[in-house]
Amino acid sequence: MAYFDYASGCPVDRRVIDAMIPYMIDVIGNPSSVHSMGLKARSALDEARGKILRLIGTEDGEIIFTSGATEANNLAIIGFGMRNRGKGKHIISSSIEHMSVINSCKVLQKNGFDVTYIPVDRNGIVRVDELEESIREDTILITVQHANNEIGTIQPVEEIGEIAREKGIVFHVDATASLGKINVNADRMNADMITLSSNDIYGPRGVGGLFIRKGVRVQPIIVGGGQEKGYRSGTENVPGIVGFGVAAEITEKEYREEAKREEKLRDEIIRRMLEIEDTYLNGHPELRLPNNVNVRFSYIEGESLVLSLDMEGIYASTASACTSKTLQPSHVLMACGLKHEEAHGSLLFTLGKETTEKDVDRLMEVLPMVVEKLRKMSPLYKKKKGG
Amino acid sequence: MYTEKVMEHFRNPRNVGEIEDADGVGQVGNPVCGDLMKITIKVDNDRISDIKFQTFGCGAAIATSSIVTELAKGLTIEEALKISRQSVAEALGGLPPQKMHCSNLAADGLRRAIVDYLRRNDRIDRIKELGLEKELEKMEKGEMDDHGELCEA
């Protein structure tokens, strides 16, 4: 088996699991309870908060735990927008954000907000000049991802953060894809809110968080008993949060070395894949996450490629229409200016801690064969070859 | 996501390729939507003696193409015209709902190959008898097919 789908799901680090177990068996108190068992659970939450803040290099704010990155993006955008609608109703985002950002923006649009989606260049880099030009008197929020989950392109968030700070606009960064892969530093990015995901750094699923800088006001989107300082009600997922914290602590120590290792494997894969004829790299050649390979193979469709690789024990991913309910090709690839059929033929390989040189060899042993088989089946290939 | 039967046809697609001296050719779909299918047939005495397909598309598109060629081989054209999207899906033990429309084009491709065969032999009356004038009209206009409202292309 060779797994190249870390962006969709990561294994949980053994050390994380070990740290979580006591919080499912022994420390069973509710963090809101006044007794000592409750206190133990509460201090575990605070410890986790501290570890996550350290990972993102700041002391100037809070971590609000959520059910994951999707909820954190919802809270950051809908929560911030609704709380600050009196100050203005214009929001700036990009055309390649995650659907949880895009659909949160749409919720605000239905509530009278105006959202500008800044286009990207062919490599998926947000056009900062256009972003700057689109700022209005009533712009209250800029939300741009740190790196793209599909094509791995790293955005100039520091530059954008500086612009936002200068204009007094709150800046939200979705760091789901970048955390644990490259340096995520809240203060250097001038980020006022950052979306964080646990599973993407080998923590458990079902946990995420939103960093909120001091002074930034957000309205909760889940209400109830007022947990998480009122920002997010519902009894805290203590074992999950403990796991997230430990994952952050491990990441802080180990990610640099690991990123270097993965980058080498990534470059090796890209180099060998591009040797297959009519194969192209999607995304930026250099400003790219160390674990991301997104490639398009002309004349064939992504899903059939994923299924064919699956039969050989290789797990990859497609953002192509056929895997989604909407049947539309990836909005990210379309925003980069790809044609529909190019977007349909794109494949995503994401690497992780357990990816080895052997996995890469196995992939590259199988892939050219599978591509050839599907191309032979494709009417487009024949047509092209025949002139 | 897919039934074992779909995967079996995907793994071992039947009748892949193109008949060089085909008596009828049917093409449906649009690469822009992620599916394109080409069916070529050889016909003897109005009976499909050979059939081949080429498909650009997802797993369902390839499996439906494969099973249509298997179902149609040896049938008279009249019998082959009874093969529908529904019967293709049934023969495969079902398809995911979102695939029923977009990827299940093979029966349409076969129908077009049959119309093309009749057209080449100047049998417009037969086309009318079989209720295929509309299909012919679309083919003459070069219309791809009705791909459904889900694909914006």
CATH number for position A301: 3.90.1150.10
Categorize the per-residue pLDDT at B148 as very low, low, confident or very high, splitting at 50, 70 and 90. very low
Give start and end residues of each alpha helix (H) in chain B.
4-11, 59-72, 77-80, 85-91, 99-102, 106-120, 124-129, 133-141
Say if B152 falls within a structural domain.
no
A296 contacts chain B (CB < 8 A): no
A311 contacts chain B (CB < 8 A): yes
Say if B80 falls within a structural domain.
yes
Q: Across the interface, do B55 and A321 touch by the CB < 8 Å criterion?
A: no
Q: Which of B18, B34, B38 sits opposite A301 (nearest CB)?
A: B34
Q: Across the interface, do B36 and A321 touch by the CB < 8 Å criterion?
A: no
- Given CA atoms A34, A39, A44, A48 in this order, what sign does their dihedral have? positive
Q: Could you tell me if A237 and A273 lie in one domain?
A: no
Residue B145: the pLDDT is 57
- Residue A305: domain span: 255-376
Looking at the structure of chain B, the number of domains it has is 1
Q: Minimal Cα–Cα distance from A329 to chain B, Å?
A: 8
Q: A303: which chain B residues are within 8 Å (Cβ-Cβ)? A: 58-59
A312 contacts chain B (CB < 8 A): no
What H or E segment, with its residue span, contains residue B51? strand B47-56
Looking at the structure of chain A, the number of domains it has is 2
**How far is Cα A48 from Cα A42, in angstroms, rounded to an integer?**
10
**How far is Cα A231 from Cα B125, in angstroms, rounded to an integer?**
73
CB atoms within 10 A of CB A370: 20
C-alpha dist (Å) from residue A341 to A134, A328, B64: 31, 11, 20
Categorize the per-residue pLDDT at B150 as very low, low, confident or very high, splitting at 50, 70 and 90. very low
**How far is Cα A125 from Cα A119, in angstroms, rounded to an integer?**
8
Q: Across the interface, do A307 and B59 touch by the CB < 8 Å criterion?
A: yes
Q: Is B38 helix (H, G, I), strand (E, B) or coil?
A: strand
Residue B100: the pLDDT is 80
A344 contacts chain B (CB < 8 A): yes
Is A297 in contact with A155 (CB distance < 8 Å)? no
- Domain stops at, among A236, A251, A266: A251
Catalytically annotated residue among B22, B33, B41, B92:
B33
Cα angle B21, B22, B24 (rounded to 5 degrees) comes to 150
- With CA atoms as reference, the chain B residue closest to A375 would be B56
Q: B37: which chain A residues are within 8 Å (Cβ-Cβ)? A: 379
- With CA atoms as reference, the chain B residue closest to A340 would be B32
Catalytically annotated residue among A10, A105, A322, A336:
A322
Q: Could you tell me if A246 and A264 lie in one domain?
A: no
**How far is Cα A77 from Cα A91, in angstroms, rounded to an integer?**
9
Is A8 in contact with A321 (CB distance < 8 Å)? no
Interface test with A, best of B19, B58, B98 (most A CBs within 10 A): B58
Q: Minimal Cα–Cα distance from B149 to chain A, Å?
A: 10
Say if A73 falls within a structural domain.
yes
Q: A326: which chain B residues are within 8 Å (Cβ-Cβ)? A: 150
Q: Could you tell me if A272 and A226 lie in one domain?
A: no
Q: Is A284 helix (H, G, I), strand (E, B) or coil?
A: coil
Residue A326: the pLDDT is 60
For B86-96, the pLDDT digits (tens) are: 999 999 999 98
Q: Minimal Cα–Cα distance from A65 to chain B, Å?
A: 33
**How far is Cα A76 from Cα A82, in angstroms, rounded to an integer?**
10
Give start and end residues of each alpha helix (H) in chain A.
14-20, 22-25, 36-55, 69-74, 80-83, 99-110, 128-133, 157-167, 238-273, 302-311, 331-335, 340-344, 357-377, 379-385
Q: Could you tell me if A227 and A119 lie in one domain?
A: yes
DSSP A104-147: HHHHHHHTT-EEEEE-B-TT--B-HHHHHHT--TTEEEEEEESB
- With CA atoms as reference, the chain B residue closest to A346 would be B34
Tokens standing for residue A68 = 């994951």
Q: Could you tell me if A139 and A52 lie in one domain?
A: yes
Contacts of B43 (CB under 8 A, 6+ apart): B23, B24, B49, B77, B117
**How far is Cα A107 from Cα A122, in angstroms, rounded to an integer?**
28
**How far is Cα A66 from Cα A74, in angstroms, rounded to an integer?**
10
**How far is Cα A270 from Cα A247, in angstroms, rounded to an integer?**
29
Q: Across the interface, do A301 and B102 touch by the CB < 8 Å criterion?
A: no
Q: Could you tell me if A141 and A273 lie in one domain?
A: no
Q: Which of A328, A341, A377 sits opposite B54 (nearest CB)?
A: A377
Q: Could you tell me if A239 and A363 lie in one domain?
A: no
For B19-75, the pLDDT digits (tens) are: 999 999 999 988 887 889 999 999 999 999 999 999 999 899 999 999 999 999 999
Q: Which of A334, A370, A379 is nearest to B35 (CA)?
A: A379
A341 contacts chain B (CB < 8 A): yes
Q: Minimal Cα–Cα distance from A344 to chain B, Å?
A: 6
Q: What count of CB pairs under 8 Å joins A to B?
A: 82
Q: Could you tell me if A225 and A262 lie in one domain?
A: no
Q: Across the interface, do A320 and B34 touch by the CB < 8 Å criterion?
A: yes
Q: Is A239 exposed, middle or buried (0-12, 13-18, 19+ CB in 10 A)?
A: buried
Say if A160 falls within a structural domain.
yes
Residue B151 annotated in active site: no
Q: Across the interface, do B10 and A307 touch by the CB < 8 Å criterion?
A: yes
Q: Could you tell me if A275 and A218 lie in one domain?
A: no
Say if A27 falls within a structural domain.
yes
Q: Could you tell me if A166 and A263 lie in one domain?
A: no
Q: A278: which chain B residues are within 8 Å (Cβ-Cβ)? A: none
Q: Across the interface, do A382 and B18 touch by the CB < 8 Å criterion?
A: yes
The CATH number of the domain holding residue A51 is 3.40.640.10
The CATH number of the domain holding residue B119 is 3.90.1010.10
Say if B51 falls within a structural domain.
yes
List the A90-94 sheet strands across, edge first. Answer: A61-66, A208-213, A193-197, A170-174, A139-145, A90-94, A114-118
Residue A329: the pLDDT is 84
Q: Which of A291, A301, A219 is nearest to A259 (CA)?
A: A291
- Domain stops at, among A231, A251, A271: A251
- With CA atoms as reference, the chain B residue closest to A307 would be B59
- Residue B66: domain span: 4-141
Q: Across the interface, do A340 and B33 touch by the CB < 8 Å criterion?
A: yes
- pLDDT of B153 over the 50 cut: no
Residues of B contacting chain A (CB within 8 angstroms) = 7, 10-11, 13, 16, 18, 27, 31-38, 54-62, 98-99, 102-103, 150-153
- With CA atoms as reference, the chain A residue closest to B2 would be A307
Say if B48 falls within a structural domain.
yes
- Domain stops at, among A222, A251, A280: A251
Q: Could you tell me if A58 and A202 lie in one domain?
A: yes
Q: Could you tell me if A108 and A216 lie in one domain?
A: yes
- pLDDT string in tens for chain A (387-residue length): 999 999 999 999 999 999 999 999 999 999 999 999 999 999 999 999 999 999 999 999 999 999 999 999 999 999 999 999 999 999 999 999 999 999 999 999 999 999 999 999 999 999 999 999 999 999 999 999 999 999 999 999 999 999 999 999 999 999 999 999 999 999 999 999 999 999 999 999 999 999 999 999 999 999 999 999 999 999 999 999 999 999 999 999 999 999 999 999 999 999 999 999 999 999 999 999 999 999 999 999 999 999 999 999 999 998 654 445 566 788 999 999 999 888 889 999 999 999 999 999 999 999 999 999 999 999 998 666 554
Q: A339: which chain B residues are within 8 Å (Cβ-Cβ)? A: 32
